[in-house]
Amino acid sequence: MYRYSEFDESFVRSRVAQFRGQVARRIDGSLTEDEFKPLRLMNGLYLQLHAYMLRVAIPYGTLDSAQMRQLAMIADRWDKGYGHFTTRQNIQFNWPKLADVPDMLDALADVGMHAIQTSGNTIRNVTADHFAGAAAGEVADPRPVAELIRQWSTDHPEFQFLPRKFKVAVTGHPDDRAVTAAHDIGLRLVERAGVPGATVLVGGGLGRTPMIGKVLADFVPLADLLPYLEAVVAVYNLLGRRDNKYKARIKITVHETGIEEIRAQVEAEFAARKPLFSGVDQEMLAAITAQFAPPVFEPEAEGDYETWRAADPVFRAFTDTNVTAHRAPGYAILTVSLKAHGATPGDCSSAQMRVLADLAERYAHDELRISHEQNVILPHLPKRHLKAVHDALLAAGLATANVGLVSDIIACPGMDYCALATARSIPVAQGIALRFEELRLEHEIGPLKIKISGCINACGHHHVGHIGILGLDRAGVESYQITLGGDGGPDAVIGERTGPGFAYDQIIPAIERILRAYLALREGRHETFLDAWRRLGMEPFKAALYDKEEARADAA
Amino acid sequence: MPPRPYTPKVLTANALLEGDVVWLAADGHWTRRMEDAALIEDEASAELHLLDAHARAHEVVGPYLAEAKRGPKGPEPTHFREAFRTRGPSNYPHGKQEGR
Ligand code: HEM
Ligand code: SF4
C-alpha cells in the first residue's frame, strides 16, 4: 500500500502544531470566532447542531489495519465510540471537544492521516472507485492518479481560494463506481492505442442545481494529465463567479460560458502550463504506481468455498449479495454492509472498526476501503477465508446480506447532526430498512439504490438515487420529496420529481407504494426497478403514490 | 406589507468549548436547559441581548434568536429544529437527552 513521504509527515505535523496554537488562542480569547472559523474549517472542524464535528479524509477510500485501529482509538478516546463514514470517503467524528481536536489530529498524523482540505474552497479529498485494483474488468487502478492529484492539490498555493469547493473523482472501471459525472471534475481512465489516459468530465455536481458532467476532453494522455487539470482549475479560478456562492461552482461556469469556450480556454492554458511541468510529475506518478502494486495473490485461494456455499444457505445469501468478482482467480471483493436493518447508515463502532482491521490484517492483505455508499470493503480476500470472515462478521453484527438492496441506503446526517439541514434523513433510512425487513421483500425487489439528503445540498446524493428522498421544511414541519429514475453510473441521470412531498409519517408508506407498484408492473425478476422505470416512465408510479383510491385499497 | 408582529423568542447559541446548545437565562448565564432560558417578549430587548451575546464570543459560537412559546415549565420550542436542539439526535441517546 502507499506510504506517505517524509515531506507529508512534516507538513502535516507542522499544520497540527499551528492549529494547536490557534485553538489555544481561541480559547483564551485572543482570536474571535470570525477569525477562528476559517482556520478551524481549514482543519476539517465544523460546528454542527449539538456539537463540533471533525471530518477526516480517507483519500480514495484506502486504509490499512493500523489506520482503521487508530480511527477506533480516536473514537473511544475523544468521541463517543463510533465514527460516520460519508459519501466523500471521509470519516466524521460527531462529538469532539474543541480543546481535544489538536490531539486527535496528532493521533491521525501518527498513521499518515489528516483533515486538511476536507472543508473550504479548495480541491477536496480525491475520491475513487472503492474496488480499485481489485475488480475484474478494470482498465487501470485509479488510485495512483488520485494520489498524484492529492499531492499536487494539497496546499497548492494557487488553489487555496477557489470560488467554491472543488471535487475530483477518478474511476478506472467502465462500471463507474465513483459517480464521476456528479463531480466538478470526473476522470475516467481509458487506454487508446496502448497509451494510458483519461476522459475528462467537467461541471457535474448535485446540490441546488444538479448537473451531469460534460466531456471536456475525450482523451488526455496520462503524461499530460496534471498540466491539463491545472489548466481546468486555473480557468475556473479565473471565470468562476464569486458574487453568489450558489453560482460559484464550475457547473455554473460551464453552463454560462459554454463547454466549447471553456475547452478553448483550457487548451490555451494547457499549452502555456505544459512546458512548466518538467516531467517530475511523471516520475512521481511512476513512483506512486510502483507503490500501488497489487499484493502477491495466492495461487490456491479458492479452498472449499463452493462446498460451503452449497451447504449453508445463510453463507450463500451473504456471498450472493456482498461478494463482487475479483480479477485474481479464487479471490473475492467483500463488501461489509454498515446498513444493518435499523442501524444508522455509515456508522461504525470502534469495536466494529477493530474487527474489520483484524480481518483485513489476518486474511485480506491488510487492505480496507471505504465506499461512497458508506460501506467497508475487503478488496483482496482469498475465498478460502470467506467462511472464517463471515463467522467473525456475524459475531460483530456486520454480516447483513443487503449490499445493493433496499436497505443499503445512503443517508446524510440530516437534522440529527447537521446545522444546515431542513429535515432528518437517518430515521427515514432506518424506518425504510426496518419496514422492508419486516415485509421480507428486499431480496424479491432486488437491486435498488435509495439515497436520502436532509437538505438541498444533496450530500446524500438523492438526485442520482433510483429512488431519491429530499427532506424539506414546509412551514415548520418535516416534509419529504421523492425523485425517481436517478442513476450515478456511467450513463448518469438526475432523477425526476414525483410531485408533492410527504409528511414524516407518510414517507415510508409512500416508498412502499412505489415498490409494490414496481413488483406488480415488472416483466419478471430480471427487470430491475431502474429498468422498469425506464420502460414505464413516471405515470404508473405517480398513480401508485398519489391515487387516494388505490392507496386506500392497498391499505385495506 | 405590514411589519410582522413580534413573537416571543429565546436567545440560543453553541458553547465554545463543547459545542453543545445553550440558551441565555434571565440572570445572564448560559443554561444547558431550554426551560431555564429567558423568554424575550419585546423586540427591543431581543436586539440588545443579541448584541450582547455577540460581544460574548469567548463563551459561545453563533448566537441567534429562536422562536419560542411560554410553557408550564418555561420556554418551549415552536419549530422542530429547535425541539431537536433541546434533546440531541434521534438515532442515539446522545446529546442533552443523555443526561436525563
Ligand atoms: C456538518 C455536516 C455537513 C455539512 C455542513 C455539509 C455541507 C455541504 C454543503 C453546503 C454542500 C453544498 C455544496 C454545493 O453544492 O454548493 C454539500 C454538498 C455535498 N456534501 Fe456535504 N455537508 C455535510 C456532511 C456531509 C456528509 C456526511 C456527506 C456524506 C454523507 C457529505 C457529502 C457531500 C456531497 C457528496 C455533496 C454533493 C454536492 C456536490 O455535488 O458538490 N456532506 N455539503
Ligand atoms: S444534505 Fe444538507 S442536511 Fe445532509 S449533510 Fe448535507 S448539508 Fe447537511
- A252-265 pLDDT tens trace: 999 999 999 999 99
Q: Position of cell 432486488?
A: A446
- A405-459 pLDDT tens trace: 999 999 999 999 999 999 999 999 999 999 999 999 999 999 999 999 999 999 9
User: Once rounded to an integer, what is the mean pLDDT over residues A79-103?
Assistant: 97
Do B18 and A51 lie within an 8 Å CB cutoff?
yes
User: Cα separation of B6 and B16, whole Å?
Assistant: 29
- Asked if pLDDT for residue A555 goes beyond 60, the answer is no
* Smallest CA–CA distance from B63 into chain A, residue: A33
Size of interface A-B (CB pairs under 8 A): 70
Closest by CA to B92, choosing from A55, A400, A344, is: A344
User: Once rounded to an integer, what is the mean pLDDT over residues A220-237?
Assistant: 97
Q: In degrees rounded to 5, what are phi and psi of residue B57?
A: -70, -10
- B25-49 pLDDT tens trace: 999 999 999 999 999 999 999 999 9
Q: pLDDT class for B2, splitting at 50, 70, 90? A: confident
- Asked if pLDDT for residue A230 goes beyond 60, the answer is yes
- Residue A293 CB-half CA count within 13 A: 7
Q: A97: which chain B residues are within 8 Å (Cβ-Cβ)?
A: 17-19
- Asked if pLDDT for residue A552 goes beyond 50, the answer is no
Q: pLDDT class for A3, splitting at 50, 70, 90? A: confident
Q: A94: which chain B residues are within 8 Å (Cβ-Cβ)?
A: 94
- Asked if pLDDT for residue A234 goes beyond 50, the answer is yes
Please give the model's pTM, rounded to 2 decimal places. 0.95
User: Once rounded to an integer, what is the mean pLDDT over residues A506-514?
Assistant: 98
DSSP chain B: -PPPPP--EEEEEEETTT--EEEEBTTS-EESSGGGBPPB-SHHHHHHHHHHHHHTTTTEEEEEEEEEEE-SSSEEESSHHHHHHHH--SSSS-GGGGG-
User: Once rounded to an integer, what is the mean pLDDT over residues A237-252?
Assistant: 95
Counting from 1 in the atom list of ligand 1, the atom nearest the Cα of A205 is 40
pLDDT of residue A180: 98
Which cell numbers in the block locate residue A152? 499536487
pLDDT of residue A553: 46
- Asked if pLDDT for residue A121 goes beyond 70, the answer is yes
Distance A412 CA to ligand 1 centre (A): 8
Q: How far is CA A44 from CA A19, A24, A55, in A?
A: 11, 17, 5
Mean residue pLDDT of chain A comes to 95
Q: Position of cell 461504525?
A: A348
Q: Are B95 and B22 in contact (CB under 8 A)?
A: no
- Those residues whose C-beta lies under 8 Å from the C-beta of residue B41, and which sit 6 or more positions away, are B8
Task: List beta partners, residue A468.
Answer: A451, A483
**Which DSSP state fits A126?**
-
Distance A75 CA to ligand 1 centre (A): 22
**Which DSSP state fits A43?**
T
User: Cα separation of A221 and B90, whole Å?
Assistant: 49
- Asked if pLDDT for residue A347 goes beyond 90, the answer is yes
Q: Is A194 left (phi over 0), alpha (psi -120 to 50) or beta?
A: left
- Asked if pLDDT for residue A279 goes beyond 90, the answer is no
Distance A498 CA to ligand 2 centre (A): 21
CA distance B7 to chain A (A): 15
- B49-78 pLDDT tens trace: 999 999 999 999 999 999 999 999 999 999
Q: pLDDT class for A233, splitting at 50, 70, 90? A: very high
**In which order are the strands placed within the sheet that holds A90-93?**
A45-47, A52-57, A90-93, A82-85, A347-349
Residues in chain B: 100
User: Cα separation of A292 and A456, whole Å?
Assistant: 37
Residues B4-28 as b or e (16 or more Cβ within 10 Å = b): eeeebbbbbbbbbbbbbbbbbbeee
Task: List beta partners, residue A99.
Answer: none
- A460-495 pLDDT tens trace: 999 999 999 999 999 989 999 999 999 999 999 999
Helices within A341-415 (DSSP H only) = 350-363, 386-395
Q: Position of cell 410582522?
A: B4
Q: How far is CA A401 from CA A180, A359, A390, A443, in A?
A: 27, 18, 11, 9
Q: pLDDT class for A549, splitting at 50, 70, 90? A: low
Q: Position of cell 472542524?
A: A45
